[in-house]
Chains A and B, each alone.
Chain A
């Protein structure tokens, strides 16, 4: 695997992690204010 390819794979992983954590953080904040479970329910 070339260095550029490795960097692109890492970039994709970083974007996926950011998206998952962003959603979880917002969900946690809303749950804190309004109530709710963190991992149940819809994915979106």
Chain B
């Protein structure tokens, strides 16, 4: 009988521990909101274009009637091929609870149904959606006079492209950008080291076959990129439109970015270029490296708590 008790206890402890590791919140629920009418209201699936995915959700704070509001757009992750704005409900509710108008915006995902979608077309959809978001917020009694762009992973990339590349077209000033683990640029020497030891990167082999990487960059940018272009460096012109770090200048908004050093899903080394660009142009920013984590930022709880503290601090300082 004791043998069964030992086996049962082992399995229960094993499963409970694994589940705990999966669900543990290092912030202790600080950024989780008990949502009801005293916090705000949610308007879902508002249109901003003709596409099936051209929909956004608005989270409006309960304290209506202020002269103006700050908008925070939070864009969902999913590798540019999946995900939905509803997946960021917790973050959007928290932002709304801080008094901001929060918006989750869907964009057309790359896949069988939309083989022509790519990072550039998605970023263009986000750019084109903002006037609709502002107009709808104003119609509902929430005039916007400033905004922040944010997101996770793919959404982080799109947020950075809006903040660094497209902010000049924005109807209201972009005061801040924040997010985690989004690809910020597409240099071959960074991407061949994706998932590798970040402390011992390998160099590009002049005789190596990088046609797979050319295909990846092609799919991401929507522009033809050949192995020859990788070899002579001309591919960088083709990927510039989807490389947020290449658009950073002295007018770029303050930024908070988090990255995992062992990321297997996107190139961590690209984030170092982003940090260098922000530093080089004197842009106030936080570049937080999770030294033991990958794309999920899953192994550095204290850093995750710090990231959220910095987001909160920058929101208060730059978005008001």
Contact = CB atoms under 8 A, between A and B. Distances in A.
Interface stretch (B17-25, B157-165, B231-239): B17-25
Contacts of A35: 195, 260, 262-265, 293-295
A7 interface: yes
Nearest to B194: A35
A17 B10 contact: yes
Contact of A37 (B18, B24, B26, B262): B262
Interface in A19-41: 19-23, 25-27, 30-31, 33-37, 40-41
Contacts of A2: none
Interface residues of A, number: 27
Interface in B282-300: 291-296, 298-300
A14 B9 contact: yes
Contacts, number: 109
Interface size class of B (residues with CB under 8 A): 35 or more
B203 interface: no
Contacts of B265: 34-35
A27 B21 contact: yes
B292 A37 contact: yes
Contacts of B299: 27, 31, 36-37, 40-42
Contacts of B302: 42
Nearest to A7: B2
Nearest to A32: B264
B18 A34 contact: no
A37 B15 CA distance: 21
14 contacts: A17-B10, A18-B11, A19-B16, A19-B17, A23-B18, A23-B20, A27-B299, A30-B296, A31-B262, A35-B260, A35-B293, A36-B260, A36-B294, A41-B292
Given A26-B21, A41-B293, 5 more contacts: A18-B9, A21-B14, A40-B299, A41-B300, A44-B301
Interface of B: 2, 5-6, 9-18, 20-22, 24, 26, 195, 260, 262-265, 291-296, 298-302
